[in-house]
Amino acid sequence: MGFFTNIKDTQASNKRGTFLTEGEHTLSVARVKMVESKKNNATYFCVEANVEDSTSDNHRAGQLITWLVKMGGEWPEYALADIKAFVMSASGAPEDEIDDTFMDAVLANDGDLLGGKLVDCSVNVVETKRGGEFNKHSWSPHSDA
- What confidence tens digit (pLDDT) does each residue in 66-91 have? 999 999 888 889 999 999 999 999 99
Tell me, what's the pLDDT at 73?
80
Rounded to two decimals, the pTM is 0.84
Tell me, what's the pLDDT at 40?
85
**Residues 17/10/115/140 CA torsion (nearest 10 deg):** -20
28-70 pLDDT, tens digit per residue, is 999 999 999 888 889 999 999 999 999 999 999 999 999 999 9
